[in-house]
Amino acid sequence: MAHIKKVLVIGATGHVGGHVVSQLAATDVEVRALARTPAAASMPTGVEVVQGDLTKPETLTRALDGVDAVHLTWPALPADAAKAVVEVIAEHARRIVLLSSGAVRDDVEEQDNPIGKAHALIEQPIRDSGLEWTFLRPYGFATNTLEWAPQIRTGNVVRGAYGAASMTLLHEADIAAVAVRALTSDEHIGARYELSGSARLSRVEQVAAIGAALGRPLTWEEITPAQARAQMDWLPAEFADYILGGLAAMVDAPGPRTSTVQEVTGVPARSYAKWAADHAADFA
Ligand SMILES: NC(=O)c1ccc[n+]([C@@H]2O[C@H](COP(=O)([O-])OP(=O)(O)OC[C@H]3O[C@@H](n4cnc5c(N)ncnc54)[C@H](OP(=O)(O)O)[C@@H]3O)[C@@H](O)[C@H]2O)c1
């Protein structure tokens, strides 16, 4: 099959998309980055930045010109937007890698949770499009723990619920490394990759790892689920309930662990300690 020469990264300013851009830029593939506000997007040398907005699919046409493959981060838009976006992508590119979610279930008619639902809405038109596709279905991102940064910047205590909840958080660079393989090699067409970090850590242990990266001891202080829920009012209610319910469940049944990052990239997923060291400046 013909070589992938040019990739458009949608979500290029995001945690995962940013690494997709920088990792691709280190190869011989031409990289174009989509941004809603190009002036605010800082990209590696040689990466072309083009304006576009997924809520206005017609703005994607220019960005898609001459592109072979697309990396798509999906901001939970409604079904009609999903269909329109996939249509315009399929008119120009032949391959798509979707940053989906481990919350999507293949064993049900209707998704039973809001995050799975939001991603299934974009997976379906992609499956129907004739594009070569790969779905990345990660479990929790380590970047979720950036929510503790305001507390850590101003003290040595992190207050949260379900400190014993244990999970395998992913470094965004590992998700991107899988995406780059899927974008540039034919081997991953049609794959639905469930991705996780390599080791389980409780939230208490995650806070301790951030402390180790910063060189100062941090402690966990347990608050009630109701107190935690009250602090999540910036999220749509059903998302907040689902996330908090997930944490409660992971106290007794730790989050899933897969070896997919290693199988696809040849190296084990980065540890949470490595992520904390890479992000020390965000907490300092
Ligand atoms: N957090 C988790 O634990 C987790 C787990 C599994 C899956 N996921 C999924 O991962 C995705 C988030 O990935 P991330 O953390 O890398 O993203 P992120 O850092 O939140 O960045 C979001 C990106 O999407 C772009 N974007 C947002 N709305 C847009 C629009 N209307 N048109 C064009 N671009 C738009 C933003 O670009 P601008 O510069 O234009 O703002 C930005 O580049 C979500 O779909 C989430 O459901 C997350």
Q: Are strands 132-138 and 95-99 parallel, antiparallel or unpaired?
A: parallel
- 50 touches 62 (CB < 8 A): yes
C-alpha of residue 78 to centroid of ligand 1, in Å: 15
**Residue 279 structure tokens:** 């992000």
Mean pLDDT in residue range 74-89: 97
Q: Which pLDDT band holds residue 1 (cuts at 50, 70, 90)?
A: low
Alpha-carbon gap, residue 191 to 140, rounded angstroms: 20
Alpha-carbon gap, residue 34 to 13, rounded angstroms: 8
Q: Find out whether the beta carbon of 125 lies less than 6 Å from any atom of ligand 1.
A: no
Instruction: Check the CA dihedral 269-271-276-277 and report its sign.
Output: negative
Q: Which CATH number is correct for 143-166+199-256+270-283, 3.40.1190.20, 3.90.25.10, 2.40.10.10, 2.102.10.10?
A: 3.90.25.10
Q: Find out whether the beta carbon of 116 lies less than 6 Å from any atom of ligand 1.
A: no
Task: Identify the CATH class of 6-138.
Answer: alpha beta
Q: Find out whether the beta carbon of 176 lies less than 6 Å from any atom of ligand 1.
A: no
C-alpha of residue 59 to centroid of ligand 1, in Å: 18
- Which of 36, 73, 115 to probe ligand 1 with, by most ligand atoms within 8 A of CB? 73
The torsion angles phi and psi of 137, rounded to 5 degrees, stand at -120, 80
Q: Find out whether the beta carbon of 117 lies less than 6 Å from any atom of ligand 1.
A: no
Q: Which atom of ligand 1 is nearest to the CA of 175?
A: 16
Report the chain's mean pLDDT, rounded to a whole number: 97
pLDDT digit string, tens, across residues 164-199? 999 999 999 999 999 999 999 999 999 999 999 999
**Residue 15: CB atoms within 10 Å:** 18
Where in the chain do CATH 3.90.25.10 domains reside? 143-166+199-256+270-283
192 three-class SS: strand
Asked if pLDDT for residue 58 goes beyond 80, the answer is yes
Where in the chain do CATH 3.40.50.720 domains reside? 6-138
